[in-house]
Chains A and B, each alone.
Chain A
Amino acid sequence: MATMVHLRGVTKRFGTFDAVRDVSLEVGAGEFLTLLGPSGCGKTTLLRLMAGFEAPTVGTVEIGGQDVTRLPPYRRPVNQVFQSYALFPHLTVAENVGFGLRMQRVAAAEGQARVREALALVSLDGLDARRPHQLSGGQRQRVALARALVCRPKVLLLDEPLSALDAKLRRAMQLELKRLQRQLGITFVFVTHDQEEALTMSDRIAIVHEGRIEQLGTAHEIYHRPATRFAADFVGQANLLEARVLLQDEAQVRVSVTGGLELTVPRAAWPAGAMKALIAMRPEKVHVSRLANPAAAPAAAATNLFEARIEEEIFQGATDQLVIVTATGTRLSVVVANESAYGEIFHAGDHVSCALHADDLVVVPAE
């Protein structure tokens, strides 16, 4: 896969604050890459460095093999969809979409055809003559998308474009964006603080934290194998437990975690030579069953078995969130599927047995 966007050792300093610290990143042609992180982590600055609204203090930016570090935004082969959409209020939908073509001096007839095509692409046919203030939020979002896509950019930059939409529309737009990206084969760089959005759409996710890329990988890698405490905590839910080595042999490490629960971890997952580390346990990886019926859980393959008492039960529709406490006092959050209204229903105070596969435990080196 050819590299489309290449940041090399980029640092961006605002006064004394480093918004981006020595980031190197390659985005492949036709890839959907998401920059995911909390607000103020530097993800938007990274996007603005690609768009050309900021110049790096140190390092270079390449797009399509060309060094664009010193090029202004209007000379870069990229287009952006802004968080506020930034539609021009005095222009109609068609004029908004045609603005970029007008700047490129595309012939009128060709321009009109391309505007129509772009509007059809985002299912906005027939609204050409409307003004932005006559459109709904979702429609404005589509206009912003069409306006950027009509210029046929090498890279489309999206700065939290879905954050102003309601939850249902947002989910629909996520799928539509993904479909568009596959259909057009354009490289998308998407900025969001919403982990669900990132997991749904991205080919790869870059977790950005304090101006650095904390982890870069596919949605699966990020979710199942978070590399740092921050990555484990930020994406999805996780029980983060401090672990201390009790015993170890060639195959396994026996550790004691916060609260006294003892767990077995595969040797390969444990950082070599370390006596302490952090264990991230996803709530849905713990299989919970009634004490009376241990065979119901897929416990045979699991290497970690323990008993616990349910302290709290939070009904969430499709799932039940349980807070359980082990005999030694380790408190864990677990999620069980609400498979049937008549089947196993857990209540606070119930005693249950828990099974947890050793491979499902993620070990993060202690900081």
Chain B
Amino acid sequence: MPAAPTFPARRRWPSGIRIVDGAVSTWTAVVLAFLYAPIVVLVAYSFNQSRLNIVWQGFTFEWYRQVLQNSPLLRAAQNSLVIAVVSTLLSVLLGTVGAWLLHRYRFAGARTLQTLVAVPMVMPEILMGISLLILFATVGMGLGFTAVIIGHVTFSFPFVLVAVQARLRGLDPAMEEAALDLGATPLQAFWLVIVPCLRPAIVAGALMAFTLSWDELIVTFFTTSAASATLPIRVFGMAKVGLNPMLNALSAIFILATIAFVFFSDYLRKLSR
């Protein structure tokens, strides 16, 4: 009778790797908890009957009702939306055209201009706010919607420009030439060929610009009038007076809107494929 074949014992991972593996998983869990626990708590307490954030007294929609009936708050949300949309559109226009000019044409001072464009991205917002305020005062322009929008465009268009520039560097230079060769004028070539090629970068830049404008506080603070006060300005004002469960409810709505927005833009991106 032949001897039964013997198999070597199944090799196990060396214990060192298992320890590292466990440590990495734990670390990941801790980081995620650190990021999301405050948000979960905030949303949970927006349904709390108590005016105090620390004690749970029962479930309620009261704070949501108050938010939706608070007309100054709704007005501020509307202002924020208008300002964010307008400044995003302007940023996209300036950023895209600016990136194309810097990429496509060689002219004196192009390098300096390139550097100057990056300045608003790194400049402290407080300085931006003050210098804009001084500027508007000097030229005699009143504060309000226009001033806020100008302020927001100033710091958000560089983000569009940088995103578009990165895309342009990877773009085949023959793309524009092919369009010109087929009879398109430089303007047609830009609009019909270059812009569609840049679309992912333009969308990314626009999302960035919108987000920056939507939660901007400091520059807005220096350039707004009472009528153009944005949501962050109002919330800041409310929080100074004391924590209010309404803020929790408002934040929960924001979070929901943000998540919806992310899914929507993802859906749009898939659709455009």
Specify which of B177, B180, B197 is in contact with A90 (CB 8 Å cutoff): B197
Contact with B along A73-117 (1 / 0, CB 8 A): 110001110111011111000000001100110000000000000
User: In whole Å, how far is A14's beta carbon from the nearest beta carbon of chain B?
Assistant: 12
A51 contacts chain B at the CB level, 8 A cutoff? yes
Q: Does B175 contact A (CB under 8 A)?
A: yes
Shortest beta-carbon distance from A249 to chain B in Å: 59
By beta carbon, the residue of chain B nearest A83 is B174
Mark interface residues in B183-197 (1 if CB within 8 Å of A CB, else 0). 111001000110011
Give the complex CA separation of A52 and B192 in angstroms: 20
Selected from A82, A100, A104, A151, the residue in CB contact (under 8 A) with B177 is A82
Question: A90 to chain B: which residues have CB within 8 Å?
Answer: 196-197, 199
A79 touches B182 (CB 8 A): yes
User: Quick one: which of A72, A80, A100, A103 has the most chain B CB within 10 A?
Assistant: A103
Bound-complex Cα distance A79 to B183 (A) = 9
Q: How large is the interface on A (under 10, 10 to 19, 20 to 34, 35 or more residues)?
A: 20 to 34
Which of the residues B177, B182, B185 comes within 8 Å of A99, measured between beta carbons?
A: B182
Rounded to whole angstroms, the CA-CA distance of A150 and B123 in the bound complex is 53
Is A357 part of the contact surface with B, judged by Cβ < 8 Å?
Answer: no
Contacts of A99 in B (CB 8 A): 179, 182, 184, 192
If over half of B's interface residues share one DSSP class (helix, strand or loop), that class is named, otherwise mixed; here it is helix
Residues on A with C-beta less than 8 A from B172 are: 84, 86
CB neighbours (8 Å) of B197 from chain A are 88-90
Q: Is A147 a contact partner of B182 (Cβ separation < 8 A)?
A: yes
B199 CB contacts on chain A under 8 angstroms? 90
A239 shortest CB reach to chain B, Å: 40
- Is A73 a contact partner of B181 (Cβ separation < 8 A)? yes
Given A84-B174, A86-B172, residue A74 in contact with residue B181 (CB < 8 A): yes
What B residues does A80 contact at CB under 8 A?
177-178, 181
| B180 pairs with A86, CB closer than 8 A | no
Report Cα–Cα, A84/B181, bound state, in Å: 14
28 A–B contacts from the bound complex (CB under 8 Å): A52-B180, A53-B177, A53-B180, A73-B177, A73-B180, A74-B180, A74-B181, A74-B183, A74-B184, A74-B185, A78-B181, A79-B181, A80-B177, A80-B178, A82-B178, A84-B174, A86-B172, A86-B175, A87-B178, A88-B179, A88-B196, A99-B184, A100-B182, A103-B182, A104-B183, A148-B181, A148-B182, A151-B183
| Chain B residues with a Cβ under 8 A of chain A | 172, 174-175, 177-185, 188, 192-193, 196-197, 199
Chain A residues with CB under 8 Å of chain B are 51-53, 72-74, 78-80, 82-84, 86-90, 99-100, 103-104, 147-148, 151
Known: A103-B184, A148-B182. 20 other contacts (CB 8 A): A51-B177, A72-B180, A73-B180, A74-B182, A74-B184, A78-B181, A79-B181, A79-B182, A82-B174, A84-B172, A86-B175, A86-B177, A88-B175, A90-B197, A99-B179, A99-B182, A99-B184, A100-B183, A147-B182, A148-B181
